[in-house]
């Protein structure tokens, strides 16, 4: 039996994944928890597979829990399941926080394929995060550097702090933000920020502890 934990804070989605796992006699559903850090604590039970949301109860990060699980129990497979399209999430998952990643808007059949391939020893990741429409542009029209500048601004860093981090002037920071506003057809930077957050293109609320 494949001992499995589901870490997901949405009750409806919990049930959906639980029913999916229960329909396959190869799996034993050991626990369902709302908090990724709780899933981490339960892995001492000899867990083979953890299906992990990214943003869980108390805003605890499934990525951080996944990294710690991989460090403590290397044989436990961690699959990140998320609707967050922030490219930083995919990058961190690939960098050691998970064995595989699956986007929730994809089919159950695809999830089962990802699970099977992961249990067989593969690392299964999409080449890039999903592309979304943002007013007059698509999200992939924002360069990685511009996205990181916007992320830092949303986190509360000043133009001077951002400029120092990226080796550009204050005016350079302003230029990149104005370019995103202009390219997307937004009225102002506040509208750009609201769209980036609402669309889950940038996520800054995950807690590591």
Per-domain residue ranges for the chain? 2-119, 133-198
Extract the runs of DSSP E, i.e. beta strands, from the chain: 2-7, 27-33, 49-53, 77-82, 100-103, 133-134, 137-138
Please, which pLDDT band fits residue 169 given cuts at 50, 70 and 90? very high
Q: Is the pLDDT of residue 174 over 90?
A: yes
DSSP label at 97?
I
Helix (H) or strand (E) holding 151: helix 144-154
> What is the per-residue pLDDT for 106?
85
CA dihedral 147, 122, 66, 146 (to 10 degrees): 0
pTM over 0.85: yes
> What is the per-residue pLDDT for 199?
94
> What is the per-residue pLDDT for 105?
85
Q: Is the pLDDT of residue 128 over 80?
A: yes
Please, which pLDDT band fits residue 131 given cuts at 50, 70 and 90? very high
Mean of pLDDT over the chain: 95
Mean pLDDT of all residues in 105-111: 90
Instruction: Return the CATH number of the domain spanning residue range 2-119.
Output: 3.40.50.2300
Q: Is the pLDDT of residue 209 over 80?
A: no
Extract the runs of DSSP E, i.e. beta strands, from 46-140: 49-53, 77-82, 100-103, 133-134, 137-138
Q: Is the pLDDT of residue 8 over 80?
A: yes
Q: Is the pLDDT of residue 50 over 80?
A: yes
Mean pLDDT of all residues in 125-143: 94
Mean pLDDT of all residues in 155-167: 96
Mean pLDDT of all residues in 168-184: 96
> What is the per-residue pLDDT for 65?
98
| CATH code 3.30.420.10 for 133-198 | no
Radius of gyration over every alpha carbon of the chain, rounded to an integer in angstroms: 19
């Amino acid at each position: 039996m494949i001992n499995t934990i589901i870490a997901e804070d949405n009750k409806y989605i919990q049930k959906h994944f639980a029913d999916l796992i229960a329909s396959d006699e190869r799996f034993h559903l050991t626990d369902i928890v709302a908090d990724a850090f709780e899933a981490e604590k339960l892995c001492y039970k000899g867990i083979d597979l953890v299906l992990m949301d990214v943003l869980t109860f108390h805003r605890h990060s499934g990525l951080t829990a996944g990294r710690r699980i991989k460090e403590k129990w290397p044989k436990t497979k961690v699959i990140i399941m998320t609707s967050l399209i922030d490219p930083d999430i995919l990058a961190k998952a690939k960098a050691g926080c998970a064995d595989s990643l699956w986007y929730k808007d994809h089919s159950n059949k695809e999830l089962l394929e990802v699970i099977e391939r992961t249990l067989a020893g593969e690392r299964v990741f999409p080449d890039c995060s999903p592309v979304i429409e943002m007013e007059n542009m698509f999200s992939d029209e924002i360069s990685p550097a511009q996205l990181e500048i916007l992320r830092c601004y949303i986190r509360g860093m000043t133009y001077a702090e951002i400029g120092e981090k990226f080796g550009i002037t204050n005016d350079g920071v302003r230029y990149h933000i104005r370019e995103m506003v202009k390219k997307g057809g937004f009225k102002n930077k506040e509208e750009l920020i609201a769209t980036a957050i609402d669309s889950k293109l940038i996520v800054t609320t995950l807690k590591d502890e």
